[in-house]
Amino acid sequence: MTNPKSICVYCASSSRIAQSYTDIAYRLGTLLANEKICLVTGGGNIGLMRSVEDGTLDAGGEAIGVIPEFMVEQKWHYEKLKLHITKDMHSRKQLMAQLADAIIALPGGCGTMEELCEIITWKQLGLYLKPIVILNINGYYDNLIAQLEHAIKEHFMGDIHGNIWSVASTPEEALDIIRKTDIWDPSIRKYAAL
């Protein structure tokens, strides 16, 4: 069982998405604040990232943004957050994972999916052992989940790797899954080689 003190949320920075995604991101942020769970994000000031951040801050919660220098230079950062400024994208992702007791992936584009796939790989290699939840709003991740399952079926991943991530359809379900998911043992890396 996991009792998270912090959760990293991967999500889109696009501001052109449907309101239903924005509403759920805000609700997730509010839920984290109400549960006294610190939000960790990429520190951006638009899109779902801003929505989940505002949900947390508006409810009186704590929110940390991790953002690389070049994004701050472009003024893409959200000044209301406690910011950690990193040298580059690689150190950004590493610090976000280090700060988080669990990961939730909201819908997003290539950047969000890249973060999600990388943290799944880290868990497969025993480098990140904590819960990972795909919040599959409106079936957004159906195709990616099917691709991951196909990779297992075709033996590009082992059957055990299907336990690396969980899928939720609501913020409440995501948090419930995190609380019910055990931290993995580092010995899991012995299954990385097929």
Could you name the CATH architecture of 6-187? 3-Layer(aba) Sandwich (3.40)
Both tokens of 151, joined, read 């990779």
pLDDT for 191 equals: 72
Map tokens 């969000």 to a residue. Answer: 112
- Residues with Cβ < 8 Å from 80, sequence gap 6 or more? 53, 57, 63
pLDDT for 24 equals: 98
Domain borders along the chain are 6-187
pLDDT for 147 equals: 98
pLDDT for 194 equals: 62
Instruction: Please report how many Cα atoms fall inside a 13 Å half-sphere around the Cα of residue 36, on the Cβ side.
Output: 1
pLDDT tens for 67-103 read 999 999 999 999 999 999 999 999 999 999 999 999 9
CA–CA gap between residue 56 and residue 179 (Å, rounded): 19
pLDDT for 161 equals: 92
N-term to C-term CA, the chain: 29
Both tokens of 169, joined, read 């359809």
pLDDT of 47 > 80? The answer is: yes
pLDDT tens for 143-193 read 999 999 999 999 999 999 999 999 999 999 999 999 999 998 888 777 777
Helix intervals (H) in the chain: 19-34, 47-58, 69-73, 89-99, 110-124, 142-153, 171-180
Q: pTM higher than 0.85 for the full model?
A: yes
Q: Do residues 126 and 187 touch, judged by C-beta distance below 8 A? A: yes
- Cross-strand pairs, 105: 10, 134
